[in-house]
A and B are shown apart, each in its own frame.
Chain A
């Protein structure tokens, strides 16, 4: 099976712009979650989608949003970019089969805001 695919791999934006990141989960996985990773804050949960519905949201401002499509692919959007949004954005999918199906991560999108 192909793993979780995230595009683009790298992105450079300027303050005030908006950005959309894409994630294709492992085939058959219906849960997709997003994380932000920075050197100072580590890995932080952004939000999770399941069957096109947002199930949970982390403690991030409303500038961060996402959605999931019927094929389980997901996008996240960040509007009015700030310098502090520079980070590695990771997407993970899970099969939700059983109580402890682990997360499978993509290699992330490295976003640099200048």
Chain B
């Protein structure tokens, strides 16, 4: 299982673009990179998933360099409601076994007015 390393916390301001980088040096060939967002007393919410290059959806973008040893979650024009903990997960075949999924400590993102 690939271990991930993320900053413990980040601060930003409303309207700014926020980039959270995750290191996963031991990522395996079949591993995908998935990001979740969690608000206090709620379950994690799936944000985005990718394998290589760039993935974009209505919420965020995910940038993955060619060596795949890191990835960057980009949140455009953040608002106060984006204050949450963000988890980066790396693994293969999430559907085959949830036990392969290890949540790290996550990044606590705080957005200020």
**A interface residues (Cβ-Cβ under 8 A, vs B):** 4, 31, 33, 35, 42-43, 45, 47-48, 55-58, 88, 90-92, 94-108, 110
| Inter-subunit contact A110/B41 (CB<8 Å) | yes
| Inter-subunit contact B49/A100 (CB<8 Å) | yes
| B50-98, CB < 8 A from A | 87, 92-98
CA distance A55 to B101 in the complex (A): 14
The answer to whether the Cβ of B29 comes within 8 Å of any Cβ in the partner chain is: no
Please classify the interface of chain B as helix (H, G, I), strand (E, B), loop, or mixed, using the class held by over half of its residues.
loop
Instruction: Choose from A45, A95, A107 the contact partner of B43 (Cβ within 8 Å).
Output: A107
- A99 and B93 contact, Cβ closer than 8 Å, known pairs A107-B41, A108-B42: yes
**B interface residues (Cβ-Cβ under 8 A, vs A):** 30, 32, 34, 41-46, 49, 87, 92-99, 101-106
- A98 and B95 contact, Cβ closer than 8 Å, known pairs A103-B46, A107-B42: yes
**Complex interface: chain B residues within 8 A of A43 (CB):** 44, 87, 103
CA distance A51 to B103 in the complex (A): 25
Extra inter-chain contacts (6) besides given A56-B97, A56-B98, A108-B41, CB under 8 Å = A42-B104, A90-B44, A100-B34, A100-B93, A102-B34, A103-B44
Offer 8 A-B interface pairs, CB within 8 angstroms, sorted by A: A42-B106, A45-B99, A45-B102, A90-B43, A92-B98, A99-B96, A103-B98, A105-B44
| Inter-subunit contact B92/A99 (CB<8 Å) | yes
Residue among A35, A92, A103 facing the most chain B CB atoms (10 A cut-off): A103
Say how far B3's CB is from chain A's closest CB, in angstroms: 13
